[in-house]
Amino acid sequence: MDWKETLTRRRALVIAPFAFAGLYTLANRRGEQPVNAEEVTIVPFDDRGHPQQAARLRRIVRAEAEWKRILTPQQFYVTRRESTDEPYTGAMYKSHQRGIFRCVCCSNAVFSSEAKFDSGTGWPSFFEPIAKENIGTRRDTSMMMDRTEVHCALCLAHLGHVFDDGPAPTGLRYCINESSLGFFPLAV
């Protein structure tokens, strides 16, 4: 056995566990979408940014083909496949226009420009959601990291992640993918 063959076997032994772990994670994450439309409570917001009375709504559940029909490929990839936008590629991270950020999949209000700040990361960042009822979180151990994923409470669209290195008053940084958001300027 020569040194090239040993090196190839050694490389395969080192790489194989990581490859299997990645495939296992991808296979299991696709099956996490619920099949039933359970009820959730959200706080609707009008076009002026005013909260309305909390409402109990059926969770929005669609077939993959329908999501692909109503979303752009990038929006689908980020929101339904839990991917991430490239940093500094959008315009929202540097925008300071007043308005509401809504889930691109279902129009649920998720963040307000009032809570937006420049994190220097290249993604739109917020120190709190527009209403705690409108988002959900779960532990995300993909990519060999332990993070907290943020999703829309109404349709379970992946929005981004939340970290504990944000500004006052919460100390949180909701690092959100631009592809998961629609921006709506406040009506006058």
What is the distance between the alpha carbons of residues 33 and 13, in angstroms, rounded to a whole number?
Answer: 33
What is the distance between the alpha carbons of residues 182 and 109, in angstroms, rounded to a whole number?
Answer: 9
Q: Active-site residue among 103, 106, 152, 175?
A: 175
**Cβ 62 vs Cβ 156: under 8 Å:** no
Q: Return all residues near 43 (Cβ < 8 A) that are at least 6 apart.
A: 51, 52, 54, 55, 109, 130, 131, 133, 134
Q: Return all residues near 94 (Cβ < 8 A) that are at least 6 apart.
A: 118
What is the distance between the alpha carbons of residues 92 and 183, in angstroms, rounded to a whole number?
Answer: 8
Q: Where does 45-180 have alpha helices with state H? A: 64-70, 73-79
Whether 152 sits among the annotated catalytic residues: the reply is no
Q: Which residues of 20-37 are buried (b: 16+ CB within 10 A; e: fewer)?
A: eeeeeeeeeeeeeeeeee
Catalytic residues: 175
